[in-house]
Every structure is written in C-alpha cells, then in structure tokens.
Amino acid sequence: MSVFDLLMGALLVASALAAVTLKNAIHAGLALVGNFLALAVVYFALEAQFLGWIQIIVYAGAVMVLFLFVIMLLFDAKADVGPNPLPWMRPIAAALAALLFLALAYAYSSLGPIDPLADVKLAGGLPKALGAILYGGWLYPVLLVAVLLFAATVAAVVLVQPQIRKTRIKPQVLERDRELKEVGR
C-alpha cells in the first residue's frame, strides 16, 4: 500500500462524501465527477486501463454531464431544502450504511493473498486483451447491451414526449370512456 493508494482512497472517499452531503446539487454533481475521475485513476492502478478510459469518457464525460445538464435544466440546484418530513432518516441512513460497511469489511478480512501472476494475466487491461474476451465469451451480454440501449432509447423517448399525440379516436371508444365515468364515479 503506497502513498498513492492512500491519496487516491482519501480522494475517492472525500469526493463521495461531498457528493452525498453537499446542499447544492451542482456542487454535489461536480464532486461526483471528481469521484469518477479519481476512480478512473484507481482503475489504471488496478491494471485496467481500458476500463479507466471508458470511465472517463462515458461516466465523467457523458453521464455526469447529462446529470449536470438536467440539474440546470430543471433549475433544481437547491433541491435538498425546505421542510423535511423524515428528519430521522439521516441518522438511520448513516447507521445502516455503517453496518453495511462493517459487514462487508468483515467479509473482506477473510480474503486470501493476491495471485502473484495477476498483472501478467491482466496484461494491463488493454483493449486488445479485453476485446478478445468481450467478443469471445462475452459476446452474448454485449449483444444484449445493444438491445438494452435500444430499449432504453425507446423508453426515454416515451418518457420525455411532451405532448399526448393527437390521434383520431374511434367514437365508440370515447363513448365507453364517458360511460365509465358516469357509472364509476
């Protein structure tokens, strides 16, 4: 464990804490960007270069920008203000998080030593090695991810369509709606 490791760890934790506590949503979002960048650096340290790049490009570059964009779009920067109907939620959340961490940490304490040949096998996590795996054994999930992204696009379009499409509605359908209202209410 080097100084670098400690530094990155501190950065990660600090930015994460900032992301979940800062009152201003834009600040929190920025903290999260920082966290993601730090994480990318950690990936490099973990022999996962391609992952690190992707992290920077997709996460920090695209996803978080999207987030910040939405935050600003919605003028919702000062979101966590106003009366809180669940004031006791914060300590409970903290306690639950702490317990979760402790349980996981306890589980990790039973881990064995690192495989001495690990970094050789990982080959630095370069695209070439990773690509062989992704388009080899992982072809199926990758294809599925394509479907997923397609489905997500459709879903997102459905969600943000601002107006109800004006279609010609059959008269008997309208009559039925009226009927339901009459009898139901």
Name which position in 7, 20, 37, 171 contacts other proteins (CB under 8 A): 20
Which residue from 65, 67, 11, 76 is spatially nearest to 40, judged by alpha carbons? 11
User: Does residue 4 bind other proteins (CB under 8 A)?
Assistant: no
Longest dimension (CA), the chain: 76
Give min distance, CB of 135 to other proteins, in A.
10
CA–CA gap between residue 33 and residue 52 (Å, rounded): 14
Which residue from 51, 45, 55, 42 is spatially nearest to 10, judged by alpha carbons? 42
Name which position in 4, 61, 133, 171 contacts other proteins (CB under 8 A): 133
Give min distance, CB of 154 to other proteins, in A.
6
Give residues 91-120 in contact with other proteins (rule: CB under 8 A): 92-94, 96-111, 114-115, 117-120
In the chain, what is the straight-line distance between the N-terminal and C-terminal CA atoms, in Å?
69
User: Does residue 17 bind other proteins (CB under 8 A)?
Assistant: yes
Give min distance, CB of 71 to other proteins, in A.
6
Radius of gyration of the chain (CA): 24
Q: Count residues near other proteins (CB under 8 A).
A: 121
User: Does residue 41 bind other proteins (CB under 8 A)?
Assistant: no
Give residues 69-88 in contact with other proteins (rule: CB under 8 A): 70-71, 73-74, 76, 79-80, 82, 84-86
Sequential DSSP letters for 9-49: HHHHHHHHHHHHH-SSHHHHHHHHHHHHHHHHHHHHHTT-H
User: Does residue 7 bind other proteins (CB under 8 A)?
Assistant: no
Half-sphere exposure of 6 (CA within 13 A, CB side): 3
User: Does residue 149 bind other proteins (CB under 8 A)?
Assistant: yes
Give min distance, CB of 40 to other proteins, in A.
10
